[in-house]
């Protein structure tokens, strides 16, 4: 997530933190997942590995939002993220994997079937 999104997300009522502000840059995905779950955060990422971790472990959290829409327009991605965070807020609180691409949003509740 670009640092420039933090203020806007916070103004919209979302708690937002960059991993680089709370943990080491070289932390593994499993470390980031564990921290996010323990602290009630949603992971927002371009990294498909987070979905794989949720699938392979059968974890009930953390919620993960994966951005797959890379059309070169950060403002479009930001609008999609705001829409998803607002529309699926309760699903994210319960535990969900949401994939955002240029056509639609896919929501799967956790735990994912192995």
Strand partners, 64: 43, 97
pLDDT, tens only, 31-56? 999 999 999 999 999 999 999 999 99
The Cα 114–Cα 35 span in angstroms is: 23
pLDDT, tens only, 1-30? 788 888 888 888 888 999 999 999 999 999
Q: What is the pLDDT of residue 111?
A: 98
Looking up tokens 């932390």, which residue turns up? Answer: 27
The Cα 114–Cα 109 span in angstroms is: 13
CB neighbours (10 Å) of residue 52?
Answer: 12
Taking 3-state DSSP, the helix, strand and coil percentages for the chain, each rounded to the nearest 5, stand at 45, 15, 40
What are the residue boundaries of the structural domains of the chain, listed by start?
5-109
Residues 6+ apart with CB under 8 A from 110: 54, 59, 60, 61, 63, 94, 95, 96, 97
The Cα 95–Cα 3 span in angstroms is: 25
Lowest mean pLDDT among 29-38, 75-84, 88-97: 75-84
Residue 72, pLDDT > 70, answer: no
The Cα 108–Cα 10 span in angstroms is: 25
Q: What is the mean pLDDT of residues 102-110?
A: 91
Q: What is the mean pLDDT of residues 78-98?
A: 94
- Mean pLDDT across the chain: 91
The percentage of the chain sitting over the pLDDT mark of 90, rounded to a whole number, equals 68
Residue 104, pLDDT > 80, answer: yes
């Amino acid at each position: 997530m670009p640092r420039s999104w933090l203020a806007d997300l916070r103004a919209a009522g979302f708690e937002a933190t960059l991993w680089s502000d709370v943990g080491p840059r070289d932390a593994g995905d499993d470390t980031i997942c564990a921290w996010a779950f323990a602290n009630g955060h949603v992971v927002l990422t371009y990294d498909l590995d987070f979905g794989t971790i949720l699938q392979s472990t059968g974890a009930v959290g953390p919620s993960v939002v994966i951005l797959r829409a890379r059309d070169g327009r950060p403002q479009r991605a930001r609008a999609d993220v705001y829409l998803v965070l607002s529309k699926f807020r309760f699903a994210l609180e319960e535990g969900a994997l949401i994939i955002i691409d240029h056509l639609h949003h896919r929501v799967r509740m956790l735990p994912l079937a192995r």
